[in-house]
Structure 1
Amino acid sequence: MSGHHHHHDEHHGEDLAGAAQSALQAAGEQWTEMRADVFAALAQRDKPASAYDVAEDVSKLRGKRVAANSVYRILDLFVRTNLARRVESANAYVANSHPGCRHDCIFLICDSCGRAVHNDDDRLTDALVEAAKSAGFADIRPVVEVRGICADCKEGENQ
């Protein structure tokens, strides 16, 4: 990974769940078992998941049907509290690997395999925020999605 983006502490597994729990509690919310399960289900996927995908995983985990609606509400809460990010063009969610970090992400989404890689480039997102401010906008959060073919898929095509 080269380029001009900084790396924060990327969390994984238990460590990530712990970071998520702290971030959620810091936001004044409770870390319930259900929320923990939804976060775990989201975090173990390597590509963005829909609320239905997550509901299915949580249902398996709990051994009983969990409605996509309740999962959707939790995912919304995670997006608001920065524990997850929404990939708008795919109507899907991805766990934030540095929960509570207020970065505006740029998602690079592969049209071939569907993986979303996020990239923090403050110069780009700051420029977008400035442009929006000069247009009179407030509470700006850039949502940037770039679609293309990832390096792995491109390699596969060139074999």
Structure 2
Amino acid sequence: MSGQHHHHEHSGENLIDAARHALVDSGEQWTDMRADVFTALAERDRPASAYDIAEAVSALRGKRVAANSVYRILDLFVRTNLARRVESANAYVANSHPGCRHDCIFLICDSCGQVVHIDDDKLTGALIGAAKQAGFADVRPVVELRGMCEACS
């Protein structure tokens, strides 16, 4: 066994429905603003900054939406596993299986910026084990690997 696990990957309206259910199940409310932010994030095929999302939501709503408001919502989405933060890009991607708690491995193309998310519990389990040996608890790995995607290489 490779340590990889698979999920039903949601997209489009199914992804938005899954995100709404996951957020409500976590005890949070699915407001119109949160729906707009998630929709704007989910429509992107590349990681988006809070400013990118604020611009998209502002256009959708016909009035300016502050990036600070979007940051707070994105932080909530990360805490509730609706989105992932790509640290090295200071950007966010929608989680295609919202609410699923597992560790992240991102493959990031240095040329086009595409981000692919993969799961490998064997690899992240080894990282958690090493952290525990070093005295750390409640470790949740986020691994980012940079290189060139197949299309760019």
Q: CA RMSD in A?
A: 1.0
Describe the SS at the equivalent of 2:85. Answer: strand
Counterpart of 1:42 in structure 2 is 41
Aligned sequence identity (%):
78
Q: May I ask how many residue pairs the two structures share in their alignment? A: 152
Unaligned runs of 5+ in 2: none
Describe the SS at the equivalent of 1:29. Answer: coil
Counterpart of 1:126 in structure 2 is 125
Describe the SS at the equivalent of 1:9. Answer: coil
Counterpart of 1:136 in structure 2 is 135
TM-score, with length taken from structure 1:
0.93
**Residues 3 and 122 of structure 2 are in contact (CA less than 8 Å); yes or no, is this contact kept in structure 1?**
no
**Residues 41 and 93 of structure 2 are in contact (CA less than 8 Å); yes or no, is this contact kept in structure 1?**
yes
CA distance in 1, matches of 2:60, 2:137: 41
Runs of 4+ in 1 over 6 A off after TM superposition: none
Q: What is the deviation of 1:4?
A: 6.5
Counterpart of 1:75 in structure 2 is 74
Matching of residue 7 in structure 1 with residue 6 in structure 2: yes
TM-score, with length taken from structure 2:
0.97
Amino acid corresponding to residue 135 of structure 1 in structure 2: A
**Residues 54 and 66 of structure 2 are in contact (CA less than 8 Å); yes or no, is this contact kept in structure 1?**
yes
CA distance in 2, matches of 1:66, 1:115: 26
